[in-house]
Structure 1
């Protein structure tokens, strides 16, 4: 591998002069710089990004810490981030932390040792002083989340408004008994979507009392739907906190012999591509997932390059409702809790 020493020897200059020429820093004549660059090109010299990082320059790497790489929401997000990273000439590093605080802190420490230029933290339950200390001083963008004690650029969608629109859609169809399967209470987007569900019901004169907690995954949606069916309150529709939850709800209703939307309607949140292939196709609140990734990467790289200074920016993107086959008018009789047996 060609080194700075090789370039200096061939060009007949000092290593310091080569460094100034390659980095365009310090006092050096235009002729000398041109000569050094020509020699470097002839030798096929490639700069060592890590070594440059060690002296305070960019390593051209950014990192994205994912709470759950198996969730189909995140590949589309990564694709959006990668598009912008490529445009800026940066390498994207992925870490899968699955909301494991110990692993997340270890990953961030490793990224700091490798002189990563900045990191992005999507929605998850990790928070608190230890995480705040771990990211202190790093260019940082938070996606659909907050971290106590951290002031950073932030991007999200209007979760509350999106949920409110989903429930208003069900109300407009004639539903009054609308249950909610929420996400984990520790995730801010889950709390915002629950609040939007409650807003819409209260605006229509109904009390938001029928709620079960899920985990943003299919199994949580399935378990919550079974609990709803075993309860003491009738309902005609379910608003699920995300699409994976909705998929679990659909499976539970199918196992109980319920037909969607004839017996009960279901609406999700995310707009995952796979939901258009379900039977029935899922009505869902669609997030601009790729745009979220692109905006997050742009904010981060603008911080790194110095284009973005001052108060950290906050970007809120809109959602839109995709009306499909899983929502329809309420049945003549609501689902009677406690009377539906599972096959």
Structure 2
């Protein structure tokens, strides 16, 4: 969100998965927090399921809005795949008419045209922490209650973002 705002985007939309899952809720909440009060209007949030089909439908709905968003954040690679396919089908110039950022760093993001800017989470670190917590619990060294551990991600700048045209 910071990257998109630094480029001048004010109408940023989010395509998210099932709000029944904590990761989908937290990614939308993170976008809201980053954009501040009123920075993410309800009509710019499309949340339903974690599928490419929903990503496509959500992008189509977003581009029917007036004013339409100038940037989109897809909260998973499946959603990104569907949204990017739909952008192509609609003849949208990415990043000319619509800047695009995805969560995760799927290998295919690098070979898209244009390559997709991504918020990458540290999968190796997450795996190591998960294994440590599991082993600790199996050994009885820590309580079995759920815990929350946050790790820092990073933005990988590629060519799918640019300043808005309007």
Structure 2 residue 12 is the aligned partner of structure 1 residue 178: yes
- 8 Å contact from structure 2 (residues 63, 69) kept in 1: no
Query: 2:48 and 2:20 mapped to 1: Cα distance?
Result: 12
Query: 1:232 and 1:314 mapped to 2: Cα distance?
Result: 39
TM-aligned CA distance change 1:173 to 1:219, over 3 Å: same
* Structure 1 alignment gaps of length 5 or more: 1-166, 334-343
- Residues 205-236 of structure 1: per-residue CA shift (max 9 Å, x gap): 63523111242221110111111123343211
* Structure 2 alignment gaps of length 5 or more: none
1:309 Cα offset (Å): 3.0
Structure 2 residue 69 is the aligned partner of structure 1 residue 245: no
Match of 2:160 in 1: 326
Alignment of 1:145-164 (within 5 A): none
Query: 2:137 and 2:84 mapped to 1: Cα distance?
Result: 43
- 3-state SS in 2 of match to 1:179: strand
Structure scoring higher RCO (CA < 8 A, sep ≥ 6) equals 2
- 3-state SS in 2 of match to 1:292: helix
Query: 1:291 and 1:196 mapped to 2: Cα distance?
Result: 21
Match of 2:101 in 1: 267
Query: 1:208 and 1:224 mapped to 2: Cα distance?
Result: 15
TM-score if structure 1 supplies the norm length? Answer: 0.45
Alignment of 1:1-343 (within 5 A): 167-202=1-36, 206-209=39-42, 210-306=44-140, 308-310=141-143, 312=145, 314-331=148-165, 333=166
- 3-state SS in 2 of match to 1:285: strand
- Residues 275-316 of structure 1: per-residue CA shift (max 9 Å, x gap): 12221111111011122122212221222234x234755422
- Residues 212-267 of structure 1: per-residue CA shift (max 9 Å, x gap): 12422211101111111233432111111112211211111111111100111011
- Residues 144-191 of structure 1: per-residue CA shift (max 9 Å, x gap): xxxxxxxxxxxxxxxxxxxxxxx1110110011111112111110111
- 8 Å contact from structure 1 (residues 285, 319) kept in 2: yes
Query: 2:60 and 2:77 mapped to 1: Cα distance?
Result: 17
- 8 Å contact from structure 1 (residues 276, 282) kept in 2: yes
